[in-house]
Amino acid sequence: MNNNAGPCWKTLLTVSWRGFFIALLLITVTGGAVMFKNNSNEKSETKQWVKSELTPAEAAVILNKGTEIPFTGEYNDNYKAGIYVCRQCGAPLYRSDDKFKTGCGWPGFDDELPGAVTRTPDADGRRVEISCSHCGGHLGHVFDGERLTPKNQRHCVNSISMKFIPATDSAHFGRAVFAGGCFWGVEYHLDRVPGVIFTTVGYIGGSTEYPTYEQVCSQRTGHAEAVEVIFDPEKVTYEQLAKLFFEIHDPTQKDRQGPDIGNQYRSAVFYYNDEQKKTVERLIKQLMSKGYNIETELIQASRFWPAEEYHRDYYRRKGTLPYCHTYKKRF
């Protein structure tokens, strides 16, 4: 890889009595025990999502496609670090990094987690509905062409359709970011780990907002090519992922990885909490005691910027193996 929409829907939440009873009937029939699987990355071991029992207000939006009253949702002004998941089935939907202020009264995101959201034409013939890809629960609508962010899209989502999991809450989902040269190869190896739910290639550690690949390659943004990992802590631990990271690239190289040279290819771990920081510090000490001169930087995570679509799942789509990332046991 060494190469050089119009305003939000202002209709208030209106639910007919018929729809209300249909929602209650659906809740009774499902009994809160229907299982869903995430197959977006065609992983051999998939995450099972369990449908939760919904309140009448939640069912009105999620099942009957209603809309909550603007400026009343609990997440409209929430900008804490974390992950937004589907309220009905718990599947991850959005990063807090992709949330931005819209002023329209509903939470807005300019990107979603890979494969998390399904788009379908709305019954009104004008808008595009978005729903959870895992359970089909209604989220809201997506608008393109408003130029509110460089990504030029706005996911207008009902707060009641989501739950927010803080980045500090590692009991539900873990979030890790690793940089070790070309992000294609790093993603290839991390994505194959049982318990990893999503991986996303992107940029982190610099000062430029909405960086492009060309800008990062100029070495003037300060960003590193990196991979964000969302994982199930019941199936894989952060320490296991960090160990693998140190074994799929050469952590003794500075500002390069194999034939890829530049500060965007540096080795770095971006931590979200003290536990992650201490884990990596301990692993680095272990490696140094074995004679490795570790150049890996340990940096508190800043905003993670997803890379362009054509970089995502590169080796899986191409059907080839990484040319500069091979496994070497070091622990």
Q: Which residues are catalytic?
A: 156, 182
Q: In angstroms, rounded to a whole number, what is the distance separating the alpha carbons of residues 25 and 184?
A: 47
Q: In angstroms, rounded to a whole number, what is the distance separating the alpha carbons of residues 288 and 151?
A: 42
Element (H, E) at 184: helix 183-191
Contacts (Cβ under 8 Å, ≥6 apart) of 127: 9, 141, 143
End-to-end CA distance of the chain: 28
> Sheet harboring 267-271: ordered strands across?
297-300, 267-271, 174-180, 224-231, 196-204, 305-306
Torsion-angle region of 178 (φ positive above 0: left; ψ -120 to 50: alpha; else: beta)? beta
The candidate with the shortest Cα–Cα distance to 117, out of 129, 130, 107, 100, is 130
Two tokens, residue 101:
């202020």
Which whole-number Å values give the CA distances from 287 to 129, 209, 256, 293, in the listed order?
50, 34, 19, 8
Give CA angle at 126 (114, 310), nearest 5°.
Answer: 25
The candidate with the shortest Cα–Cα distance to 67, out of 164, 161, 163, is 161
The answer to whether the beta carbons of residues 88 and 62 sit under 8 Å apart is yes
**Residue 263 per-residue DSSP state:** G
Give the largest CA-CA distance in the chain.
71
